Structure 1
């Protein structure tokens, strides 16, 4: 019976992770569709306000303590860093195919290993350092030989993926903070950045556009909830590898919706990144370290913020 319960938990966790990643991919595809019409600042503002509206009951329950958490300066750095990362992501989608942007972002867990060694003092052996180098090689291969305007998008995506890695590292440092506090600060920072940028390029949204802009924040939150529940009901080492199905969804959406044609370099680069990420995950599991998940656990699940 004990084995059956464990197997059931693993199955549920895998299903939840797959659903969460599928939602992330759908959300990203919707973001690429929207960024062709609306400016990044406008997208940031409306999606953040929609997310904060859903979070309002949980923020109210937290009370004034959510305004003055311990290490408020680190929260502020994480919040605006996360908001900048989101802005860079949408900007990259304007220039690049969906699959290429997601390939660069899949490298974020690889960067986390290097950043954790440099800034958190975590000991990283030569095997994981080698995997990091392979992951970097994958990013270089995925860049391809293009020197066109797409290279601007590649630069934005790479900077954004580094910013996302820093976001993951900062979240580790704030692991004792409640999920509501983390996401409320980040969404507030995103709304502030959106409020500053939106007036410079505002396009009156249609009813469909406004609905899609609101859904952009809500679907992302639903995806976070699924991923968080996945990590709650099953071992992270079991479910985290399924985060790499994101690249499959990105290729499918890119081909079917946007008419993208993935290059051989993209497939090879993505393969190197995924292989290095899985190897790092295997080494972390062997050493008893917390696996580096692509999705940051900063959302709410079943009415209770995760910490």
Structure 2
């Protein structure tokens, strides 16, 4: 069992999680582009095959850490949850703008607070609840602004429902991530998660496989690199701070999603973004302030 050194401040874990969320958000854009070209499941399979190949040299250089049976089971459990979460999320994301998809997915952190209490035995402090609620209100403000900007047909409704269900799996993923980070190092987590996900999607490949073109390969290769970077950052950060401290930081992903949606897909933002972003930043500050004062 790995026992990480305790930092003198939560600043570095928070910054690591911010970097991880940024990497995942840019990866979302790459995977949306790939999914539009070859389908969600083919894109996810290719991404995780590329990511497993990328992390293999790091795993070898780290001394080939092999998990115990208990930890290996946890690795696979999180991979299975992540597979369902990712399939639902990208199924929804190809049907609605990125900013809207991210806004809906932020139901996850508030659920994660209660999963953390149930599965990790963490105490839910009032500041953590307030932080999550501020972030959630920020997402509601932004989501209301986005949904009020246009008309939405059956595809958009289907996409919205898929992302709502994905958020539940994402909440469980956040808590398993914290538990996993306390038992294994970032490189081990990244290698086995990428390998397990590739294996899970490979089993079902005969039912959905689409031959990718050069552009789709480029986007999935970028997605694999970004997913690996995100896993390393998040695993390091979650090993060094409580889930309830880091959960509000998840809200920063909206800023990156909005930027990527605008740059790559020409998706525009309404005026509610400013108000919502203010609430998100305030929530992140409230969530980390308690831990900083205690250290």
Calculate the TM-score normalised by the size of structure 2. Answer: 0.74
Q: 1:161 aligns with which of 153, 158, 167?
A: 167
Hey, what's the Cα distance between the residues in 2 that align with 1:283 and 1:101?
30
User: How big is the shift at 1:240?
Assistant: 9.3
Q: Does the alignment pair 1:99 with 2:99?
A: yes
Q: 1:182 aligns with which of 175, 189, 194?
A: 189
Question: 1:294 aligns to what?
Answer: none
Hey, what's the Cα distance between the residues in 2 that align with 1:204 and 1:128?
46
Hey, what's the Cα distance between the residues in 1 that align with 2:188 and 2:88?
23
Hey, what's the Cα distance between the residues in 2 that align with 1:100 and 1:76?
30
Q: Do 1:35 and 1:93's aligned partners in 2 also have CA atoms closer than 8 Å? A: no
Q: 1:228 to 1:110 in 2, by over 3 A?
A: same
User: How big is the shift at 1:277?
Assistant: 3.8
Larger mean CA deviation between 183-192 and 222-231 belongs to 222-231
Q: 1:135 to 1:241 in 2, by over 3 A?
A: closer
Q: Does the alignment pair 1:123 with 2:123?
A: yes
* Deviation readout 1:5-52 (Å, 9 max, x if unpaired): x9xxx79x96x7776555433322111111111222111211111111
Hey, what's the Cα distance between the residues in 2 that align with 1:248 and 1:140?
14
Calculate the TM-score normalised by the size of structure 1. Answer: 0.72
Question: Which runs of 5 or more residues in structure 1 are unaligned?
Answer: 1-5, 289-307
Query: SS of the counterpart of 2:70?
Result: coil
Hey, what's the Cα distance between the residues in 1 that align with 2:237 and 2:122?
26
Question: 2:209 aligns to what?
Answer: 202
* Deviation readout 1:164-184 (Å, 9 max, x if unpaired): 221121122231223233223
Question: 1:44 aligns to what?
Answer: 44
Hey, what's the Cα distance between the residues in 2 that align with 1:180 and 1:283?
30
Count of aligned positions? 279
Q: Does the alignment pair 1:216 with 2:212?
A: no
Question: Which runs of 5 or more residues in structure 2 are unaligned?
Answer: 1-7
Hey, what's the Cα distance between the residues in 2 that align with 1:232 and 1:136?
25
Q: Do 2:23 and 2:226's aligned partners in 1 also have CA atoms closer than 8 Å? A: yes
